[in-house]
Amino acid sequence: MAFRSAVITFPGSNCDRDMAEALGKISGTPALRVWHGDHDLPEGLDFIALPGGFSYGDYLRCGAIASRSPVMQAVVAAAERGVPVLGVCNGFQVLTESGLLPGALLRNSVIRFVCRDVALKVENAQSLFTAGYAAGQEISIPVAHHDGNYFADDATLDRLEGEGRVAFRYGDEVNGSARRIAGVLNAAGNVLGMMPHPERAVETTHGGTDGRALFESAIKGLVGA
């Protein structure tokens, strides 16, 4: 069965091609490209990705306007049907603004753009996205953001921790995120939002390949199913 994925492009996306390249190279099937103004998604999708960038110039709030784009109604509906959705950086912000994930991404506590490789700890190695890692494994993935400070109230944070929905945690202080959370899952486990960019760590020419297992894990789990 051929793997069928789609990458959503918003005005201001700048990592959509990187995401499409990663999905295409690892799956062997080119990712479909979907414009934010489309009302429908291609049929038979196995995987949807919301890429990084600065959708709508980060006006109002990062991801707020993009979350109201016409295509997002179809994305939310697909997620609710169980289609896996990955949101990276700005894509993570869009997922929180659309209500698919809890919490919000605030301005970095250091009040400056952070662009470097960061150490991550894999907290949940049982999801579709993370089954290619080992629990507690330390990996290195690049970040590039100004508004990656994950915030949620204590009750929500406790619930995320208790339900095993923290997928990744920063190894050290990066942006002020509550409990150093770098990535979270929805209750069903088919939606992952994360600020680090796994699509920028899938080839040796990127300087590291620690992000590759995320895509391989998802593709293997979906095609195998």
- Return the residue matching tokens 């993009």: 66
Structural domain total, the chain: 1
Do residues 70 and 37 lie in contact, with contact meaning Cβ atoms separated by under 8 Å?
yes
User: 191-194 and 85-88 as β-strands: parallel, antiparallel, unpaired?
Assistant: parallel
Q: Can you give the pLDDT at residue 194?
A: 98
Q: Can you give the pLDDT at residue 223?
A: 82
Set 62, 97, 199, 206: catalytic member: 199
Tell me how far apart the alpha carbons of residues 87 and 195 are, in angstroms, rounded to a whole number: 8
Tell me how far apart the alpha carbons of residues 153 and 142 are, in angstroms, rounded to a whole number: 27
- Kindly give the residue spans of alpha helices, DSSP state H, lying in the chain: 16-27, 70-81, 90-97, 154-162, 212-224
Q: What are the E-state strand segments in 96-155?
A: 104-106, 114-122, 138-145, 149-151
| Residue 115 pLDDT grade (very low, low, confident, very high; cuts 50, 70, 90) | very high
Q: Can you give the pLDDT at residue 23?
A: 98
Whether 216 is a known active-site residue: answer: no
For residue 87, pLDDT over 80 is answered with yes
- Per-residue pLDDT, averaged over 79-102, amounts to 98
Do residues 120 and 135 lie in contact, with contact meaning Cβ atoms separated by under 8 Å?
no
| Residue 111 pLDDT grade (very low, low, confident, very high; cuts 50, 70, 90) | confident
Range of the domain at 69: 5-223
Set 89, 145, 146, 206: catalytic member: 89
Spatial neighbors of 54 by CB under 8 A, at least 6 apart, are 12, 14, 62, 90
Of 125, 116, 123, give the one whose Cα is nearest residue 214.
125
Q: Can you give the pLDDT at residue 33?
A: 98
Between CA 184 and CA 38, with CA 144 as vertex, the angle to 5 degrees is 70
Which CATH number does the domain housing residue 37 bear? 3.40.50.880
Q: Can you give the pLDDT at residue 2?
A: 84
Backbone Cα Rg of the chain:
16
User: 114-122 and 166-170 as β-strands: parallel, antiparallel, unpaired?
Assistant: antiparallel
Whether 203 is a known active-site residue: answer: no
End-to-end CA distance of the chain: 9
Quick one: what percent of the chain has pLDDT higher than 70?
A: 99
pLDDT in tens, 32-59: 999 999 999 999 999 999 999 999 998 8
Token pair for 143 = 């970040």
Whether 15 is a known active-site residue: answer: no
For residue 1, pLDDT over 70 is answered with no
| Residue 225 pLDDT grade (very low, low, confident, very high; cuts 50, 70, 90) | low
Set 36, 145, 146, 197: catalytic member: 197
pLDDT in tens, 123-149: 999 999 999 999 999 999 999 999 999
Give CA 66 to chain center in angstroms.
15
